[in-house]
Amino acid sequence: MNYELNITFFKIATLTYLFAMVFYLGYLAFRNQAVGKIASGITYLGFLCHTASIGTRWWESYQMGAGIGHVPITNLFESMSLGAWTIVLIYIIVEWRYKNRTFGAFVMPVTFLAMTYIFVAPDVSKDIEPLVPALKSYWLYIHVLTSFLGYAAFAVSFGVSLMYLIINTQRKDSFYGFWTACLGALSVIVLAIAADWATLPDIQGKHMLEATFRNPSAGVQALSWAGYAVILFLIYMFGIRLKSALGKFQTSSDLLDEVGYKTVAMGFPLLTVGIITGAVWANKAWGTYWGWDPKETWSLITWLVYAAYLHARLTLGWRGRRASVLSVFGFFSVIFTYLGVNLLLSGLHSYGSTGGQIDKTAIPFLLIFAAFFAAYVGVCWILDAGSRKSAGHQVASEK
């Protein structure tokens, strides 16, 4: 007997999210309330299917017998499906709470991308697998659930912050370069995954991005990088149109700024609990609450970046664009903690990943991340120092 009802629901949900994304984009372009309502309706439908997918997977794991049954959050496919589910859940809450549908155009692509990625990625197994003994612990559920709720809150903050940046930059700003580069990188990854899916006949045993950036042929690799450059250039050239499309919406920048902050304020305690429950669990399983395993370290890096965000915002008065950029960096760190560590680094968290050696492609990626981040903070620091000399006022922390 096949236990694939959950996969069917998963496929339907993914497709539904795609439609929701199209309608949200349409809503953004035409500002038609009816289109917006349809987009929301489709999102609810997708969310229901997604919930059904997780529910049936849970149920099906018990149908398999032999003590295999467990909550479906134990391999990359299951955890990422849950992650996407949480993002949609938080988005639905935000949409309902703030009566604003514009964020949908930013959140749904992230969700759709995550869902498509786990469905097509060759490294990700979609089978229901028995738990290895180390994963048999209640702490697993608390740890994964809190971490994921936190990640999802950060994802919403990322989408909203990116939108803030798009609306509030001029072409001559350095921030314009920043958000077009981010959007360009995201688009390239989507296209590269699509290329994997389209061109590799048998994707089992192949690596992610093998059709493009990691192609055995140097020519194809060079072509991929050239394509990357072209896409970056195009987005840089025409990004200003996206700004004017969004600008027509008259979404309040203050609202975006506030949502960007509040979602971080929600995510930060959740991430903290996620890290701590992970430590409690590690202490129960291995007798060490902290071992500087790459996953642990990266979760700490993410925690530090968001801690810096909160301190900069609450005590140094970094708001608006500055805070948004920090939130974007924070989310890159989240993605790396979640995916990059499993796929590129090795360590104790390698369940269901390719495992083994450190992948050298990780190194330039990490160096670029670190360099940009350091440069950004450095520039802000210099600007602050400059303004301190010229200005002579003080902003009270509480008014």
Q: Does 243 bind other proteins (CB under 8 A)?
A: no
The stretch among 1-9, 130-138, 182-190, 210-218 that binds other proteins (CB under 8 A) is: 130-138
Alpha carbon 175 to chain centroid, angstroms: 20
Q: Which of 223, 234, 237, 358 binds other proteins (CB under 8 A)?
A: 358
| Residue 230 near residue 188 (C-beta atoms within 8 A) | no
Q: Which of 44, 311, 368, 375 binds other proteins (CB under 8 A)?
A: 311
Per-residue tokens: 56: 């049936």
Cα 353 to Cα 189: distance, rounded to the nearest angstrom: 19
Q: Which of 99, 172, 241, 399 binds other proteins (CB under 8 A)?
A: 399
Per-residue tokens: 192: 């590269």
Cα 349 to Cα 144: distance, rounded to the nearest angstrom: 12
The stretch among 89-97, 103-111, 118-126, 264-272 that binds other proteins (CB under 8 A) is: 264-272
Q: Does 133 bind other proteins (CB under 8 A)?
A: yes
Q: Which amino acid is at 322?
A: R
Q: Does 132 bind other proteins (CB under 8 A)?
A: yes
With tokens 């590690």, the residue in question is 282
Q: Does 216 bind other proteins (CB under 8 A)?
A: no
The stretch among 38-46, 106-114, 211-219, 354-362 that binds other proteins (CB under 8 A) is: 354-362
Contacts of 42 (CB under 8 A, 6+ apart): 16, 19, 20, 23
Residues 64-123 that bind other proteins (CB under 8 A): 65-68
Q: Does 393 bind other proteins (CB under 8 A)?
A: yes
Q: Which of 100, 125, 137, 361 binds other proteins (CB under 8 A)?
A: 137
**Burial of 120 (C-beta count, 10 Å sphere; 0-12/13-18/19+):** middle
Size of the site for other proteins (CB under 8 A): 83
Cα–Cα nearest to 129, from 352, 338, 342? 352
CB of 109 to other proteins, least distance (A): 26
Contacts of 375 (CB under 8 A, 6+ apart): none
Per-residue tokens: 5: 């009802």
HSE-CB for 295 with a 13 A CA cutoff: 19
Alpha carbon 209 to chain centroid, angstroms: 18
Q: Does 142 bind other proteins (CB under 8 A)?
A: no
Per-residue tokens: 390: 């010229």
Q: Does 332 bind other proteins (CB under 8 A)?
A: no
Cα–Cα nearest to 78, from 123, 113, 148, 126? 126
Q: Does 379 bind other proteins (CB under 8 A)?
A: no
The stretch among 177-185, 199-207, 232-240, 291-299 that binds other proteins (CB under 8 A) is: 291-299
Query: For residues 115 and 344, which CB has a smaller minimum distance to other proteins in the complex?
Result: 344
Cα 17 to Cα 39: distance, rounded to the nearest angstrom: 9
Q: Which of 319, 335, 351, 361 binds other proteins (CB under 8 A)?
A: 319
DSSP state of 314: H
Q: Which of 22, 38, 52, 312 binds other proteins (CB under 8 A)?
A: 312
Query: For residues 83 and 320, which CB has a smaller minimum distance to other proteins in the complex?
Result: 320
Q: Does 41 bind other proteins (CB under 8 A)?
A: no
The stretch among 28-36, 39-47, 204-212, 369-377 that binds other proteins (CB under 8 A) is: 369-377
Binding-residue pattern over the window 155 to 174 for other proteins, x denoting contact by CB under 8 A? -------------x------
Q: Does 136 bind other proteins (CB under 8 A)?
A: yes
Cα–Cα nearest to 307, from 278, 341, 267, 279? 267
